[in-house]
Structure formats: C-alpha cells, structure tokens
Amino acid sequence: MSALPRDIDSRLPVVFTLADLKQQVPDDEQGAMALALRWLESGQVRQVAPPRPVFIRMGSGEIPAEADLCLALRRAFPSLVVVGGSALWRQGISRERDALLDCAVSEPVERCPLPGVRLHQRPAGWLDAVSRAGGLHGQIHEVPLLNAEMAVADAARFTDVWVPDRDHLDWRTLSAERIAAAQEIMNSL
Amino acid sequence: MASEGQNAVSESPLRLAIEALHGRARALSEYYSVYRSGAGAHARGRRHQRVRELRHDIVRLHAWAWYLSVAGRRPWWWRALDRLSGVFGRDRREQAGRRRQRRAGIQRLSSFSVVDRAYVAHMEDFQGRLLTLQLAQQNQPDSRRAVCQKELEDGVRTLAEYRRCLAENAGRVAVICWTLAAVLRVRGWFGLDSGEPCVVDP
C-alpha cells in the first residue's frame, strides 16, 4: 500500500470507474480500493453519485467542464436525461439560461455532490414511457434532452425542476396539442 | 455448476446473484430505451445494431436469473436442462468480449461475458458503497457502519466466488441461456410475464 502513488495517475481519464482503476493496478483489487480511498480523502477525485463507483478528477476549486460532467453522469446513470429549463434553453425555446444543469434519472439517487448539476429522481418506467412517446430530442455531450413539450409537461407534473418564466419562452414553437399529449403520459406515471 | 456448486450455496448468496442479474438487466433496459428512441451516445448507423445487442443481452440476463431462481426447487425441466447443458456445454469454449456474428454484422457478447459483467457491476457497486462508508467512517466512526462494511465485504467475496464458478462453466452457461432465452421470447410473444421487466423481440 505504501508503494501506491499519492497523486492521481495521469493515464486515467478525467472520468473513470473503479473498473478503469483496477486495470491500472492489475491483480491487486485491495490496492485499487486503497488508492481510490486515498484520492477521495485528498479531494483529488470525487465520487460522482455515491455510492456508485464512478469518479471524476477535480482540479483545485474548479467546476469541471460540462462535457466531463455529462460523461461522469452518463457513466453513473444509464437513464440520464436533461430536463426542465436546461432542456428548453438548449433547444432555443427559452431565452433565460439555466444556472445548473437539471437532469432526471429513473434510478435511485442518494446524492450527487458534483457542482453545476442537479439530479432529480423519476419513477421507474419514466424513461421508457418518455422514449416510447418520442419525448427525447437531440443531445448535449451525448446526453439526451427531453423535447420541449415533454420538458414542460415533466416540469408541471413533478414540480422539482427549474423552468423559466412564461414570458421567456418562445410559445410559437410549442404545440399545445403535444403538451396535452405529454401531460397525459406524465400523469399516467 | 448449478446442480453441484450452487446447491451448496445458501439462499442468500443466490439472491445476491439474482439481484446482480436483475440490476444489470434494468440498467441495460434504460440504455435500450435511450437507443431505441434514437437519442443518446451512438452513431446513427449503429443504432439498430446496438438495440438488438441490448435486447439480446437483456433476455439472456433474465434467462440466467430464471435458472438460478428455481435452482432451489429443481423442477423437472431444470434438471433436464442442467443435464443437457452438461452434455452440450462441457467442451464448449466461451471467450470473453464481443464476437462478430456473420448475420447482420451484429457483435454479440458470449452469455458468459453478459452474466460475468452483471456480477462485476454488482461487485463494483458494493465496492463503491464500501468506499463511501470508509470515507464516512474515517470522518466520524460509527459501529453500525462497521457492520455494514463487513456485510459488503462478504458480498464482494461471494460475487467473486460466483465469477470463478461461472468461468469454469462458461459452456454450460451458454447452453442454458440460449435455451431459456428462447423460452422467454416465446412467453413474451404470448404475453406471459417473466416476473421482472423483460424486453423481448417484437
């Protein structure tokens, strides 16, 4: 254990899993665990969403780049989707920018200590229902976005995400019919 | 394997294996939903291929979970399948990783790899919990955490033992998964539920 490096291995990417770390310390699972613990203690890395075994390297006091945040969250949560005002802003429907990236997942979330991100839990089957209804549209750093109507319906149903004021939305691009259909799907969950 | 090794294992470790398989199947189902919708991380051309790969992997996970879940009761079909897998799977060599199928250019994991990855994912979930606990324990020692830590370490050891057992019987796993996955697909066509969320060919 004393032979383990104190500083994080430069061969490891910004976002890595316990499996990646084990590959760097072959045949020594305990060593890999000890190393991860040491880096966590020193604050060089953070667990993306404890207890999930996905880690992100943290610079001193910096907020990680959005691409790294998205990658870290994608690796921790397969059902990750950008929702609420974050989805609306990125689709050009909102003129007001989000301060935090609002994402939803349908797996249990204990906590997510990453700066710049807010995770919201959705019921099991949420992603399947949204996806079947064609409620995903485009992506940001490979994370799918809710389409505008579904984002509005989701925000109204769960009331836990930030959405811009009505005046800041471009209503010409939103279809009332599609919002009603999306609301029906959300209410069925 | 199941007839000898797993019968000797108590109910609780079997539950751990089944938990791992259903957990992995649920995670793959989430990826499946994203891929099927056309969103997410993939090249456009690979979408259908990836959807089929995922569907195939999910059914095999459910198939192996089904096999394990009835191992305690040993119904007649289970005993027959166990014997058949011994005959056809004994000398079969399964390799880890994806192999290319000539048909439709699909790259499929062997059944062994699909199940092994489920066990590894569950093991790493436990290890992630261990790290979280150890970190909290160093900051604020608590005797309840020590008990929890012990349980998690036992879980990791059990899963490691399952992996070892699986590697020794990879051929048999392939035969069992192939057979039960086919049964699950047929059940799906007739609208019969396998008890857990299961994706079958439409």
Q: How confident is the model at residue B5 (pLDDT cuts 50, 70, 90)?
A: very low
What residue of A is the nearest CA neighbor of B33?
A128
Give the range among B20-29, B139-148, B174-183 with minimum mean pLDDT. Answer: B139-148
| A136 inside 8 A of chain B by CB | yes
pLDDT tens for A105-139 read: 988 887 788 888 899 999 988 888 898 888 888 88
Q: Which residues contact A189 (CB under 8 A, 6 or more apart)?
A: A122, A123, A125, A126, A129, A157
pTM of the model: 0.78
Same domain, A83 and A120: yes
Same domain, A107 and A139: yes
pLDDT of residue A111: 79
Interchain CB distance below 8 Å, B34 and A127: yes
pLDDT of residue B97: 54
Same domain, A37 and A73: no
Does A41 reside within a domain?
yes
For residue A44, which residues of chain B lie inside 8 Å, CB to CB?
Answer: none
Does A10 reside within a domain?
no
User: Whole domain around residue A27: which residue ranges?
Assistant: 15-57
Does A3 reside within a domain?
no
| B19 inside 8 A of chain A by CB | no
- The H helix count followed by the E strand count for chain A is 7, 8
Same domain, A50 and A72: no
For residue B41, which residues of chain A lie inside 8 Å, CB to CB?
Answer: 74, 139, 142
Interchain CB distance below 8 Å, A107 and B30: yes
Question: What is the C-alpha separation between B194 and B187, in angstroms, rounded?
Answer: 8
Does A96 reside within a domain?
yes
Same domain, A50 and A79: no
pLDDT of residue A128: 86
B-interface mutation test, from A21, A22, A121, A127, most B Cβ less than 10 A away: A127
Give the range among A2-6, A62-66, B14-18 with minimum mean pLDDT. Answer: A2-6
DSSP one-letter code for B3: I
Same domain, A52 and A71: no
DSSP one-letter code for B5: I
Same domain, A53 and A73: no
| B195 inside 8 A of chain A by CB | no
Q: How many domains does chain A have?
A: 2
Question: What is the C-alpha separation between B21 and B76, in angstroms, rounded?
Answer: 23
For residue B131, which residues of chain A lie inside 8 Å, CB to CB?
Answer: 33, 36-37, 40, 47, 50-51, 53
pLDDT tens for B81-115 read: 988 888 877 766 555 555 555 555 556 788 899 99
Same domain, A49 and A85: no
pLDDT of residue B40: 56
Does A7 reside within a domain?
no
Same domain, A112 and A175: yes
Same domain, A50 and A85: no
pLDDT of residue A8: 63
pLDDT tens for A12-41 read: 888 999 988 888 887 788 888 988 898 888
Interchain CB distance below 8 Å, A127 and B128: no
pLDDT tens for B14-44 read: 889 999 999 999 889 888 887 877 665 555 5
Nearest one of A165, A188, A189, A183 to A88, comparing CA atoms = A165
Same domain, A74 and A164: yes
Q: Over 50: is that where the pLDDT of B7 sits?
A: no
pLDDT of residue B139: 79
Q: Over 90: is that where the pLDDT of B62 sits?
A: yes
Q: Over 50: is that where the pLDDT of B3 sits?
A: no
Does ipTM come in above 0.85?
Answer: no
Q: How confident is the model at residue B4 (pLDDT cuts 50, 70, 90)?
A: very low
C-alpha dist (Å) from residue A30 to A26, A27, B16: 10, 9, 21
Does A2 reside within a domain?
no
Q: Which residues between 76 and 105 in chain A have a beta carbon less than 8 angstroms from any beta carbon of chain B? A: 77-79, 81
